[in-house]
Structure 1
Amino acid sequence: MYAFSYERPTSVADAVSALKASEDAKLLAGGQTFIPTLKQRLAQPDALIDLNTIAELRFIREEGDNVVIGAMSRHGEIAGSEIVQRRIPGLVVLAGQIGDPAVRNRGTIGGSIANNDPSACYPAALLAYGATVHTDRRQIPAEDFFIDMFETALEPDEIVTAVSIPVPDASYYSKFANPASRYAIVGVMVAKTKDGVRVGVTGAKTCAYRATELEQALSGNFAPSALDGITVDAADMNADIHASAAYRAHLVKVMAKRSVERLV
C-alpha cells in the first residue's frame, strides 16, 4: 500500500480547501468506480477527500418547476424519493436500473456525472431534461458539462454540489444493459419538455449526446413509427467485445422506440 492522507471534511468549503491544499488530491463520493481504480493502482493520489460526511450535499427537494438533487444523493434514494416519483418518474426508472442493490445504496449522482463514464446512465437523462449542474462556484448546463470520455467541464479543484432538473411533461428511460455490470451498452432517455422532445443517449459513443435526428422525427409525430425511417449513423459509435458499432447504432433506435412506446 502506498501512503496517502485521508480527510473527511464536514462542509463544502472545507472540502474545497483540502482539495486546493494538496498537489494531487482526489474526491471520494460513492467510490463505486474510484475504489477499484485505487486497488488496481491506476490512480495514486497523495490525498483522498471523502465527501460522505458533508450533510449539505445529500438532499432532494422541489424548487418551483425544478427538482434539485444534492450531489451525494444515492441512486437508491433517488429511486425511492417521493418527490422524484411524483415529479420525474422517468428518473426513478433510470436510477432503479443502475447496478445492483449494493451499488444503488452506495453510488451517488454527483460521483457518477463527475466521472462521466461513457456507459453511465445519468448523463443521458441530464441532457434529455435540459438539466443544470451546480458546483461550489458556478452553474453549468448539462450540454456544456459533458465533454468526452471521463472528461467534464469541471476544474481540478471544483466540486459538484447539486443537479437541478426542470420537471418534464413526461419521460422514460430504456436501457440495453450489460448482463454482468448492468452498465448501459446503450441507454436512451426520451423526454417531452416545455422546449419540445429531447432525446439523450448513453453507451453508444465516447460521451453521452442528444440524438437530434430522433428529436426532430418525434417532434413531428410522437409515436414509435416516427422513427421507422431513421438510420442511425454507426461511424463514430463505440465497438468492443460487448457490441459492434453497427449493433449499438441499431440499439439507439430500438431503445428510443421502447421509451416512446411506454410514453404513448
Structure 2
Amino acid sequence: MIRVYSTDIIEEQKSVYNHFVKLTEKTHGHRATYSSFIFSRNALDYPFIEDRLRGVERKGIKKILDFGAGNGTMQYHLALSGYEEVWALDRRDFSRQVKNNQEKIGTNGAIIKVRQANFANNNLKNYPTLPLNYFDIVIANSSINHNWDHNIKTVVNNIWLCLKTGGMLIATLATSNIERDYFTNKEDDPMILVKKPKTWVDIFVDIGFQLYTEEWKDCDFDGIKKHAKNFSEFSPNNNWFKRFCPLGISLIKS
C-alpha cells in the first residue's frame, strides 16, 4: 500500500492520535508535547503506522524492529500493544532515555532491546548489531529519508536483510512533485530527502520488496494540493509542510 496523507488521517484514527499524545506526554513531558508531537509529522505518521499494523494478521507476529527509534515513543506503544520482542535502533545513543521511559511507562512484559548503529555505513552481513532474517515487521518512521541519497539503497538493503521472508516493512517518508534534498549545515548530518512517490517505490522494488497491496490512494501529489492550507494551519511554525507531504508505504520481503 502507498498513500499520501494529510491531517484527515487524524480524524480517521482519532483514538490512536489521542493515545500517542498521552504517550508522548509521558516520554517527553507535558510541556514538550505540543512541540514534539502535536505540531510535528509524528502526529500524522503514527496513525498511519497503527492503521497498517491493525491490517496485519497478528498470529505469529512477535518480533518488531523500530528503525530510527529516537527516544522510543513508538517502541513503547508496540510493547503495550502486546508484541513480545521489540528492538529499537538509532544512529544516536538513546539508551539512558529509553531506560528512564521504561520505568515511567512499563513494557507490558515485552522484551525491549536497544541498539546503536549507522545502517548506511555498515553491511549488516558483517555487522552483528542486528540478527539476519529475524524480524516479522520493521517500522521506519520518517527515518529512511534521513540519509544521504547515495546511501539510501544500502539502508534499504540492510532492512531487507534483517526481515524474515514474508516480513513487512512499514515506512513513512517525505514526498513532493519535485525531488529535492534538504540538509543541515553539517556535512555529515543529512536532514531529509524528498522524492516523488514512484521514485520511493522503485528504490524498494529494486531491492526486492513488493507492495503489500496494489492500492494507490491519493498518490498523485497534485491531487492533494487542497490540503496545503490544512497543513499550514496544523503546523503554523513548521515550514516543512510547505515543501513536502508525508508518504506512507507498506511492503513485503518476497
The structure showing larger relative contact order (alpha-carbon pairs under 8 Å, at least 6 residues apart) is 2
Tell whether the structures are fold-level matches, with TM greater than 0.5.
no
Comparing both structures, which one devotes a greater share of its residues to helix? 2
TM range (shorter): under 0.3
